[in-house]
């Protein structure tokens, strides 16, 4: 504890969160890479040309949105985050990969985000509780060390007082006792 800096949170939450993130990455990354690695369509190609074809052909162009209800390939509304219901319902809208609809994507990302935030809050609370417990009450070894240090200080003071009294007795015995004012002898004459 010499540096006093904050330590990285470790414990039982570090590994499950890492495993969950890795699993999510392994599940979502390959389909996205496969769709991105497919033959790219020229940027000037309109998405409406892929209407009544397959979802995969439509989604080769990343600016397209596939609507399952009417098998339409539409331009993704880039001014909005989610496509409006008038364009296509979220449950039938596809973007990026054909097997994930927007509704499931929103729910999954919300759950993952909630779990992530809950894990961060839990780690912060655990760290704060441990820090409060440490600051509030010293542990047994610290209490024992403080008691022993105080006992040694008291014994040393007692020995120092005893040695001083012994030295004073010896000085009196041999007439070497120092007076309060060394010039007091000369004033009496």
pLDDT tens-digit readout, 146-185: 999 999 999 999 999 999 999 988 888 887 766 666 666 5
| Three-class secondary structure of residue 98 per DSSP | strand
Dihedral sign for Cα 115, 117, 118, 120, please. positive
Which of 20-24, 79-83, 104-108, 116-120 is predicted least confidently?
20-24
Output the pTM of the full model.
0.43
In the prediction, which pLDDT does 13 show? Answer: 47
Burial 115-152 (b: 16+ CB within 10 A, else e): eeeebeeebeeeeeeeeeeeeeeeeeeeeeeeeeeeee
Q: Can you give the pLDDT at residue 161? A: 95
CA distances from 1 to 7, 38, 99, 125, 140 (A): 10, 54, 52, 20, 17
- Which residue did the predictor score with more confidence, 114 or 15? 114
pLDDT band at 70 (very low <50, low <70, confident <90, very high): confident
**HEC profile for 137-162?**
CCCHHHHHHHHHHHHHHHHHHHHHHH
- Residue 98: pLDDT band with limits 50, 70, 90: confident
Residue 101 in 3-state DSSP? strand
Radius of gyration of the chain (CA): 40
pLDDT at position 11 over 70: no
pLDDT of residue 5: 47
């Amino acid at each position: 504890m010499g540096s006093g800096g904050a330590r990285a949170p470790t414990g039982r939450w570090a590994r499950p969160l890492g495993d969950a993130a890795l699993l999510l990455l392994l599940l979502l990354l390959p389909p996205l890479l496969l769709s991105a690695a497919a033959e790219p369509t020229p940027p000037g190609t309109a998405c409406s040309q892929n209407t009544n074809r397959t979802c995969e052909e439509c989604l080769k162009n990343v600016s397209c949105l596939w609507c399952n209800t009417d098998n339409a390939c539409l331009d993704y509304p880039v001014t909005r985050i989610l496509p409006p219901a008038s364009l296509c319902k979220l449950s039938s809208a596809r973007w990026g990969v054909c097997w994930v609809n927007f509704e499931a994507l929103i729910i999954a990302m919300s759950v993952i985000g909630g779990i992530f935030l809950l894990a961060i809050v839990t780690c912060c609370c655990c760290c704060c509780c441990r820090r409060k417990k440490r600051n509030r009450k010293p542990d047994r070894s610290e209490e024992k060390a403080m008691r022993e240090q105080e006992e040694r200080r008291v014994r040393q003071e007692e020995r120092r007082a005893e040695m001083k009294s012994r030295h004073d007795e010896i000085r009196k015995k041999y007439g070497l006792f120092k007076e309060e004012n060394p010039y007091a002898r000369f004033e009496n004459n």
